[in-house]
Amino acid sequence: MRLFSAGILSLFLSVSGAILAQEDVTGQALANSEVFKTAPVIVDGRVLFELRGVSSYPAKKRASETRKRILDIARNKGIDPESIKAVKKDDHFEIVAGSDQMLVRVFDADAELEAIPLELLARTIQIQIHDSVVEYRKDRSPTALRVSALYFVLLTALFALLVWALKKFKIWAGRVIKAKIASDIKHIEQKSRRLIHRGQVFDIIQFLLQWLHVIVLIALVSLCNQLLGLLPDFAGEPITLQRLLGIIVAPLVWLIGIPWSEALTAGGLLGTKTVLNEFVAYLNLAALPAGALGERSRLIMVYALCGFANFGSLGIMIGGLGAMAPERRDEIVSLGMKSILAGVMATCMTGAVVGIIY
């Protein structure tokens, strides 16, 4: 049973990793860039290139402003992507679009980071920006949007059908197995081995159904994030379910001792932990650039994230307790959101105490 559980857990982590692939690429780019005090320019989850920064103009700010200018060009269909070019100046190159819209300046320091000539780097960045603008417009063309909408409708219907089928199968399997076990109880002395075997099969089926509930839930979260990704970016970054929840809980993390300037970042971590799980939240915390959270804030969040109050755990709890007490399933479901709220408050109180002691 332990080997079986380990196999299911590995499958679950693989699915979670595939769903969060786009976020992992972004996090790894941010983590690697800190070694060189650079920041990646990311459009639609794709890292185009990295830019260096100085104390008066940090790399993160430079990359964010460059990304905003690229998106402005991509959304302005009056500008031909073919007009994007690299223009040589006295000591640097400028990547411009149209007649005079500057996108980014490329300096020798940027070329030194990549260990290639300045002109070659400028041409490479020009091509990357050109391709990203073309891809951005293609992904948001009426045809692409219609195909995406149809895809999401079909996928949502498929998930709804899967959840319905799982629920019906669970009810049917439970009835069949329980009826068979009940009929065998009369001959328990002669058929004890068969009963034990059937009981183990029943436990395995229950375990599989619980993990399938979790996988479907995480997939639905990913579907929501893809739908939200069609909306315009907010604060220079795509809108996700985790970010929305992070904005909502920002006042909460501020109350437990996180400075307001870091509250959105910390709130996003708490939102990730609540929507997905603490494992993913800790990976995102580790991938944050140095300076995104202060030392005290990081310590508070380490404790505030340490809990199982998330929707995945809620699915496991409802599945497990519902199987043990099916007659009280409605009561268990009604306590689901309250249990998540209680769990979040408990870990936040722990983080607040740590912040006081620190």
Cβ contacts of 174 within 8 Å, gap of 6 or more: 202, 323, 326
User: Beta partners for 39?
Assistant: 51
For the ranges 10-24, 197-211, 311-325, 344-358, the one whose mean pLDDT is highest: 344-358
| pLDDT at position 304 | 92
| More confident call, 87 vs 221 | 87
**Confidence class of residue 205 from pLDDT cuts 50, 70 and 90?**
low
Pick from 303, 248, 238: which is nearest to 275 by CA? 248
Cβ contacts of 308 within 8 Å, gap of 6 or more: 277, 278, 343
Pick from 339, 221, 237: which is nearest to 275 by CA? 221
Percent of the chain with pLDDT over 70: 78
| pLDDT at position 211 | 65
Sole residue written with tokens 């519902």: 322
DSSP label at 232? P
State pLDDT tens for residues 37-94: 788 888 887 888 888 888 888 888 898 899 999 988 888 888 888 889 888 888 889 8
**Confidence class of residue 1 from pLDDT cuts 50, 70 and 90?**
very low
At residue 232, does pLDDT exceed 80? no
3-state secondary structure of 39: strand
DSSP label at 215? H
DSSP output for 256-306: TT--HHHHHHHHHHHHHHHHS-HHHHHHHHHTSPTTSS-HHHHHHHHHHT-
State pLDDT tens for residues 250-285: 889 999 989 988 888 898 889 888 877 788 888 888
Listed range (140-149, 170-179, 201-210, 339-348) with the worst mean pLDDT: 201-210
51: left (phi over 0), alpha (psi -120 to 50) or beta: beta
| pTM, to two decimals | 0.45
Sole residue written with tokens 């058929």: 191
Listed range (88-92, 200-204, 250-254, 325-329) with the worst mean pLDDT: 200-204
| pLDDT at position 46 | 83
Q: What mean pLDDT is predicted for residues 189-203? A: 53
Helix and strand numbers (H, E) in the chain are 14, 5
**Confidence class of residue 5 from pLDDT cuts 50, 70 and 90?**
very low
Which class for 196: exposed (0-12), middle (13-18), buried (19 or more C-beta within 10 A)? exposed
Angle at the Cα of 224 from the Cα atoms of 277 and 217, rounded to 5 degrees? 45
| pLDDT at position 187 | 60
